[in-house]
Amino acid sequence: MSTKIVIAGGFGAGKTTLVGSVSEIPPVTTEAVMTEASVEHDDISATPEKVTTTVAMDFGRLTLDQQLIMYMFGTPGQARFWFMWDDIVRGAVGAVIVVDSRRLADCFDAIDYFEKNQHIPYVVALNRFDDELAYTAEEIREALEISADVPVIDFDARERTSSGEVLKRLLKYTLSRPKDAELVG
């Protein structure tokens, strides 16, 4: 059996890094070099070393056991690429919203997207930059105005184990939710 999950979030939050850190295959990425044309669109002040960006999607695979394979699809973070999100998300059982706590506003659109698509459960993953978070998980929950049942996880996208824990939490959260049939009937 296979399952599809989506890795979403703002520009430069760590989506591609998360997919790459846990994928058992070399991840397929659509990274393109950022040009002068993107300067007016992409704020790199918090990530001045960033020289590439995802222009379509990232793809990775993780075999959880002989019975379950997880396919990860990472979305592009910039607004000009959001037209692809519906296609990328179609068929997903859950989503991870990667958040850079130094730039909370960058994840608001991803939160809104999944709040409106309530049939897709999501977790919020707070990516550590410089080995610290700008705010606590509860401060971020309050700022994002997300439900108390949505898991908020502190992690480091560069670390395989840490990223794996985020995926485990997403699967547990997804499995703990009522099935669509139960919601209707």
Q: What is d(CA 148, CA 130) in angstroms, rounded to the nearest whole number?
A: 27
* pLDDT tier, 132 (very low <50, low <70, confident <90, very high otherwise): confident
pLDDT value of residue 32? 59
Contact 125, 153 (CB under 8 A): yes
Residue 143: half-sphere exposure toward Cβ, Cα within 13 Å: 18
Query: Which of these, 113, 69, 125, lies nearest to 88 by C-alpha position?
Result: 113
**pTM for the full predicted model:** 0.83
Between 49 and 7, the more confident residue is: 7
Domains of the chain: 2-31+55-176 (3.40.50.300)
Please give the single-letter amino acid code of residue 16.
Answer: T
Q: Is the pLDDT of residue 182 over 50?
A: no
pLDDT value of residue 36? 56
Q: Which three-class secondary structure state does DSSP give residue 87?
A: helix
Mean pLDDT of 55-84: 81
Q: What is d(CA 33, CA 58) in angstroms, rounded to the nearest whole number?
A: 15
